[in-house]
Structure 1
Amino acid sequence: MTAVLLTVVAAVVTAAPAVAEEGGEGGTMGGVLVATQEESTRSGPPSPARPAPRRESGRWREGSAKRAANAGLAITVPTSRALGSTTIGGQLSAQLGTVTVADTRGSAVQVSYTATVSTTNFTTTVGGNTSTISRPNISYWSGPATTVSGTGVFTPGQLTAANAIALTGTHTAFSVTLAVGNTTVAWNPTVIVRVPSSAVAGSYSGTITHSVA
């Protein structure tokens, strides 16, 4: 059984040096990279055509975490997260916010489960033309566990920045083996977005998916 949560990510890329200012508009001012959670019960790949998060009073909306569960195995991710700004040819690197997996099945025998992560391309449409930040330019590393409970072996997919992986497919974010009873693991992953020199200034959006099974 699989539980899935989608993260709709929007990134503002500017042509001029970025200004670290929340609520900045496009053009020469800096923008923000934001993650907004949406629940889904499907296990297929996310649609690249999902809308970017809405703004309220010039700021990206932020809210509580959302949770997807299936047969006692649940995943929770923050609703939204402002990650920063960058320019064409630049790079963003910031933590996405805490991801938590809880296994409440209470198994009396040893079980295993794995959380995975994937992304779509980030795209924007300017003047009727689409510009893309492709998946090889979007990297992820889980970092160590921030919280664990219960009995099991808790293994990060990418312990340090040196282990960051390009999200060209579906990759392990965290795994738990030899688990008995109820267990919980949480981590705060880092997302790295490299903006190619061929990109245009604009507001890019894409979808990052965390799943557990």
Structure 2
Amino acid sequence: MDDTPREEAGDEGAPPGGILDGTQEKSAQGGPPPPARSAPRRKPGKSRDHSAKRLANAGLAITAPTSRALGSTTIGGQLSAQLGTVAVSDTRGSVTQISYTATVSATNFTTTVGGNTSTISKPNISYWSGPATAVSGVGVFTPGQLAAANAIALTGSHTAFAVTSAVGNTSVSWNPTIIVRVPSSAAAGSYSGTITHSVA
């Protein structure tokens, strides 16, 4: 949950039936480690070694805002807001051309009112990356969705930014926009969800 002050529907000065949507940004790499869990048992001959993949991705990282309040709108309305800078850095220093892709996904946005959960489902949550706000190094930097007309519903995992023909150390950053359409069936309240960026 983000700690941005929120305006509950029905507060003085709030729009009738107002919705204040907040979202959390999570970096898939470079964040706190997950809780320790015991490894599942595997049958002989079924063991897997992912160390080579982890080694190949060492030096490739992504950062994103930890929280963002998107604003408010009315039931049946729509809002859009930029999330803040998302940045990928590749410090692997490859001497040959390589590629990497940043992806984005989302959860439903939910709120609890009177003990009942109201949901803004993922088909109502759209994303467009916009152009790069900064790049460094040698490579071809391609936004996943250059303009608002290219916005995609976050019903699955989608490309946010792609880098190809990269040589040496490179980086790219962008400031994506989230669009939230509030169904007429949604309850008034303060909704929250999670937007996840990852890179590989």
TM-score tier (shorter): 0.7 to 0.9
Matched-pair identity in %: 76
TM-score scaled to structure 1, two decimals?
0.73
Give, in angstroms, the shift of residue 77 of structure 1.
Answer: 1.0
- Take 1:9 and 1:194, find their aligned partners in 2: how far apart are those partners? 21
Q: How far does the alpha carbon of each residue in 1:105-158 deviate from its partner, in whole angstroms, 9 at most, with x for none?
A: 000111100000000111112112211100000000000000000000000000
2:22–2:193 contact (8 Å) kept in structure 1: no
Query: What's the counterpart of residue 138 of structure 1?
Result: 125
Are 1:26 and 2:26 matched, yes or no?
no
- The one-letter code sitting in structure 2 at the alignment partner of 1:25 is E
Where does the alignment leave 5 or more consecutive residues of structure 2 unmatched? 35-56
The residue number in structure 2 matching 1:100 is 87
Q: 2: CA distance between counterparts of 1:192 and 1:175?
A: 21
Calculate the TM-score normalised by the size of structure 2: 0.78
Q: Corresponding residue for 2:179?
A: 192
2:105 maps to 1:122: no
- Give runs of aligned pairs for residues 1-213 of structure 1, distance below 5 A: 23-28=6-11, 29=14, 32-38=20-26, 39=31, 71-213=58-200
Q: C-alpha separation between the residues in 2 aligned to 1:33 and 1:168?
A: 18
Code of the aligned partner of 2:133: T
Which consecutive segments of 4 or more residues in structure 1 shift more than 3 A?
8-11, 30-38
Higher strand share: 1
Q: Could you say if the C-alpha distance between residues 40 and 167 of structure 1 is closer, same or farther in structure 2, counting changes exceeding 3 Å?
A: farther
Q: Deviations over 1:22-66 (max 9, x none)?
A: 753332515643344453556xxxxxxxxxxxxxxxxxxxxxxxx
Looking at structure 2, the residues matched to 78 and 134 of structure 1 have their Cα atoms a distance apart, in angstroms, of 22
For 2:7, what is the secondary structure of its paired residue?
coil
Question: d(CA) in 2 for partners of 1:199 and 1:119?
Answer: 18
In structure 2, distance between residues paired with 1:203 and 1:126: 9
Flag the structure with larger Rg.
2
State the secondary structure of the residue aligned to 1:84: strand
| Displacement of 1:207 | 1.1
- Give the Cα separation in 2 of the matches to 1:41 and 1:101: 19
Give CA-to-partner distance per residue, 1:48-98, whole Å, 9 cap, x none.
xxxxxxxxxxxxxxxxxxxxxx61001111233332111110111010001
Partner Cα distance (1:23, 1:131) in 2: 17
Partner SS state of residue 155, structure 2: coil
Query: What 5-or-longer segments of structure 1 have no aligned partner?
Result: 1-7, 12-21, 43-69
Q: Which residue of 1 aligns with 2:40?
A: none
Q: Which secondary structure does the structure 1 equivalent of 2:69 belong to?
A: coil
Letter in 2 for 1:203: S
Question: What is the alpha-carbon distance in structure 1 between the residues aligned to residue 117 and residue 160 of structure 2?
Answer: 30
